[in-house]
């Protein structure tokens, strides 16, 4: 057909730092780009009725019938990239910048587009920040009433080889998909999270002059995070993500960008004898302004009251609609023995390390806490979890019958601490993973999520129990929520592996392999990732890769056999379990006894 002019919405995108990425790892970058094109870029363009005009090595030019569809597509792509990059080192992030313009173009006989409309879109993409979307004024006018997203007016800008200045508006989607929700008729589970005020609680400074008190300060912060995350009105970043800033001088605006939060709570703790002083400052990350600051003094016996007062003050500053009754209802019952609480706080960093030696230190401290207070539910639940860490891995056993001990502790924890979501979720998780009591265990984790839907830890543990308990769809939803709440969690690799299990069990070995590969890139020593990779690769008839993964599994777990995994893996669905075991056999793992 002859060339003709028309009005079109033009979408131009490319990868930031593509030459650097390929220079560092050409094969790996090209493989990731191929995967992104097939799994993210092309399906999203098709979903929003786009037509690919041309591709470059790292970019694409797309025509859309409307600006709304172009912007919806751009937001979906950028949100997907946040998820894909989560947990990867910054230098391995693949980030797009996107420009969108509504203008006059010339369509040639082969379908190619030419003219200022295309040139302006390409120049807009060139000025966009990584992860951002730049719109011309003509494009922005079409969608401004439908975008529930912070928009930066960059003013009139002179673009290279464009005669007249162009007024530019910049959008930068955050961790979740708020803007996509505004442009889409139906909200997604992820988008519902970011509708809420979002906050990260940074590690407080230890002002005691005693490094031995560091555990106490960190424990105080963890309790404040737990208390805040009880409120449905808040989106609270999980502890392990906010604690990556420990010991660092931080710019709260940068923290806001990296964690996708509007507010940051920071402060200090001074403990001297029986006296405790806690200070706190609440900061708006978009402006750097201090919204609230206060100091709380009291006796050590009043520590839980001090924590509650901080929580109530923060809630009041962020969300005035929270009623006093809701704050009262969220108050945590204090432990009867402060010595047990102190030992529990000392155990926490060793529990989260998920390493054999740390695990033993944690169990010792927790057992001492239980000796002081036999009904202290958090200590009971976390001891049971530590035993599950040993049971499900190739670590030496702690006692004569770790399974029976873990199950007994879980039952005691559930009986003692039914009002604490972390206790409940760990109790349920242990019953699923060690006791294979799926009915009681899954009831408990569901109850925990209802109690504390804003906790990344609760969502992650509950999601894991559901994946292995044959409720994979809901488990995957909870894991994705946990990943949104904990984008910098050092144990992010665990979330990826369990999400990969959900994909494998639901018949998507391709997605399972991709998630497991991302997990292995973060932690190459975790054997669970490799049995997942082996099962996924054998399902995909990629036996050479399955055998390579088996070599890594045996390096991490030399005594592994099919029989041991048959006993160890708490996979409820017999077909899913057999699929994993058969994959191990095909890869060459010894049958064993």
CATH of the domain at 266: 3.40.50.10610
Domain boundary among 467, 489, 511: 489
What is the rounded CA–CA span in Å between residue 373 and residue 379?
9
What is the rounded CA–CA span in Å between residue 179 and residue 171?
9
Structural element, H or E, at residue 505: helix 492-505
Q: Residues 484, 503: one domain?
A: no
Pairing assessment for the beta strands 290-299 and 275-284 based on DSSP bridges: antiparallel
HSE, CB side, 13 Å, CA atoms: give it for residue 267: 26
What pLDDT score was predicted for residue 312?
65
What is the rounded CA–CA span in Å between residue 79 and residue 74?
9
What is the rounded CA–CA span in Å between residue 96 and residue 160?
20
Output DSSP code: residue 176.
S
Domain boundary among 130, 158, 190: 190
Q: Residues 385, 462: one domain?
A: yes
Specify the CATH number for the domain of residue 77. 3.30.70.1230
In the chain, how many H helices and how many E strands?
A: 27, 14
Q: Residues 475, 589: one domain?
A: no
Instruction: List, for residues 338-362, the tens digit of each pLDDT value.
Output: 688 888 888 888 888 888 899 999 9
Q: Which residues, other chains included, contact 318 with Cβ-Cβ below 8 Å and sequence gap of 6+?
A: 197, 199, 234, 263, 282, 291
Specify the CATH number for the domain of residue 514. 1.25.40.10
Say whether 55 sits in a helix, a strand or coil: strand
Q: Residues 183, 204: one domain?
A: no
262 pLDDT higher than 90: no
**Structural contact between residues 479 and 467, judged by C-beta atoms closer than 8 angstroms:** yes
What pLDDT score was predicted for residue 327?
41
Q: Residues 158, 279: one domain?
A: no
Closest alpha carbon to 217 in 225, 227, 206, 209: 206
Q: Residues 401, 454: one domain?
A: yes
Q: Residues 133, 224: one domain?
A: no
Taking each helix axis from N to C terminus, what angle separates 421-433 and 456-468, rounded to the nearest 10 degrees? 20
**Structural contact between residues 507 and 107, judged by C-beta atoms closer than 8 angstroms:** no
Instruction: List, for residues 219-261, the tens digit of each pLDDT value.
Output: 878 878 877 777 665 778 888 788 888 887 778 888 887 787 8
Q: Residues 149, 233: one domain?
A: no
**Structural contact between residues 510 and 540, judged by C-beta atoms closer than 8 angstroms:** yes
Full DSSP string of 250-286 = --HHHHHHHHT-SEEEEEEEEEETTEEEEEEEEEETT
What is the rounded CA–CA span in Å between residue 516 and residue 493?
8
Separation in Å, CA 18 to CA 81, 123, 261: 15, 17, 28
- Owning domain of residue 172: 4-190
Q: How many domains does the chain have?
A: 4
What is the rounded CA–CA span in Å between residue 444 and residue 114?
60
What is the rounded CA–CA span in Å between residue 335 and residue 376?
7
What pLDDT score was predicted for residue 135?
93
Q: Residues 284, 433: one domain?
A: no
Task: State the residue for tokens 């995350």.
Answer: 229
Q: How far is CA 352 from the centre of its chain?
A: 16
HSE, CB side, 13 Å, CA atoms: give it for residue 286: 10
In the numeric block, which tokens belong to residue 525?
A: 């020593």
Pairing assessment for the beta strands 4-15 and 235-236 based on DSSP bridges: unpaired
Q: Residues 505, 414: one domain?
A: no
Which pTM does this prediction carry?
A: 0.58
Greatest CA separation found in the chain? 87
What pLDDT score was predicted for residue 246?
85
330 pLDDT higher than 90: no
Q: Residues 183, 78: one domain?
A: yes
Mean pLDDT of 486-514: 90
Instruction: List, for residues 426-471, the tens digit of each pLDDT value.
Output: 999 999 999 999 999 999 999 999 888 778 889 999 999 999 999 9
Q: Which residues, other chains included, contact 110 with Cβ-Cβ below 8 Å and sequence gap of 6+?
A: none
What is the rounded CA–CA span in Å between residue 489 and residue 483?
8
Q: Residues 480, 444: one domain?
A: yes
Q: What is the length of the chain?
A: 593
Cα dihedral 301/302/308/310 (nearest 10): -120
What pLDDT score was predicted for residue 148?
61
**Structural contact between residues 478 and 485, judged by C-beta atoms closer than 8 angstroms:** no
What pLDDT score was predicted for residue 177?
34
Q: How confident is the model at residue 103 (pLDDT cuts 50, 70, 90)?
A: confident
Domain boundary among 450, 473, 489: 489
């Amino acid at each position: 057909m002859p060339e003709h002019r028309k009005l079109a919405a033009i979408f131009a995108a490319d990868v930031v730092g593509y030459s650097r990425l390929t220079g560092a790892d050409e094969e790996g970058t090209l493989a990731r780009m191929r995967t992104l094109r097939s799994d993210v870029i092309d399906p999203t363009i098709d979903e929003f009725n786009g037509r690919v005009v041309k591709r470059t090595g790292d970019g694409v030019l797309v025509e859309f019938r409307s600006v709304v569809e172009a912007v919806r597509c751009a937001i979906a792509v950028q949100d997907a990239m946040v998820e894909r990059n989560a947990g990867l080192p910054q230098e391995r992030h693949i980030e797009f910048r996107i420009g969108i313009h509504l203008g006059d173009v010339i369509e040639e006989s082969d379908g190619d587009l030419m003219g200022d409309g295309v040139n302006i879109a390409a120049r807009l993409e060139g000025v966009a920040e990584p992860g951002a979307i730049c719109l011309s004024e003509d494009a922005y006018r079409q969608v401004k009433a439908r975008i529930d997203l912070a928009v930066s007016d960059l003013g009139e800008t002179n673009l290279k080889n464009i005669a007249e200045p162009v007024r530019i508006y910049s959008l930068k989607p955050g961790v979740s998909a708020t803007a996509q929700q505004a442009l889409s008729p139906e909200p997604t589970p992820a988008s519902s999270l970011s509708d809420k005020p979002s906050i990260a609680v940074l590690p407080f400074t230890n002002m005691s002059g005693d490094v031995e008190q560091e555990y106490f300060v960190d424990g105080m912060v963890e309790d404040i995070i737990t208390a805040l995350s009880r409120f449905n009105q808040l989106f609270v970043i999980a502890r392990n993500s906010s604690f990556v800033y420990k010991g660092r001088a931080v710019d709260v605006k940068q923290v806001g960008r990296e964690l996708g939060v509007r507010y940051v709570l920071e402060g200090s703790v001074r403990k001297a004898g029986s006296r405790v002083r806690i200070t706190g400052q609440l900061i708006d990350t978009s402006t750097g302004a201090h919204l609230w600051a206060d100091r709380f003094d009291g006796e050590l016996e009043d520590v839980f009251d001090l924590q509650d007062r901080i929580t109530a003050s923060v809630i009041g500053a962020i969300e005035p609609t929270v009623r006093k009754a809701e704050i009262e209802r969220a108050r945590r019952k204090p432990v009867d023995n402060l010595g047990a609480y102190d030992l529990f706080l000392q155990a926490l960093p060793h529990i989260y390390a998920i390493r054999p030696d740390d695990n033993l230190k944690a169990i010792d401290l927790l057992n001492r806490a239980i000796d002081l207070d036999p009904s202290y539910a958090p200590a009971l639940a976390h001891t049971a979890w530590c035993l599950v860490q040993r049971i499900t891995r190739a670590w030496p056993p702690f006692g004569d019958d770790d399974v029976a001990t873990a199950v007994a502790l879980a039952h005691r924890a559930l009986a003692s601490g039914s009002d604490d979501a972390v206790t409940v979720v760990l109790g349920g998780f242990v019953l699923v993973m060690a006791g294979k009591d799926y009915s009681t265990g899954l009831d408990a984790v569901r109850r925990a999520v209802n109690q504390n839907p804003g906790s990344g830890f609760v969502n992650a543990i509950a999601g894991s129990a559901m994946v292995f308990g044959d409720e994979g769809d809901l488990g995957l939803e909870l894991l994705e929520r946990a990943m949104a709440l904990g984008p910098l969690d050092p144990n992010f690799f665990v979330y990826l592996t369990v999400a990969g299990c959900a994909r494998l069990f639901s018949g998507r070995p391709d997605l399972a392999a991709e998630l497991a590969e991302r997990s292995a890139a973060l932690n190459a020593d975790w054997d669970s990732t490799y049995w997942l990779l082996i099962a996924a690769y054998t399902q995909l008839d990629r036996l050479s890769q399955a055998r390579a993964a088996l070599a890594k599994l045996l390096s991490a777990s030399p005594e592994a056999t099919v029989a041991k995994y048959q006993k160890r893996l708490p996979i409820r669905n017999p077909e899913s379990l057999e699929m994993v075991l058969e994959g191990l056999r095909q890869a060459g793992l010894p049958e064993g006894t």
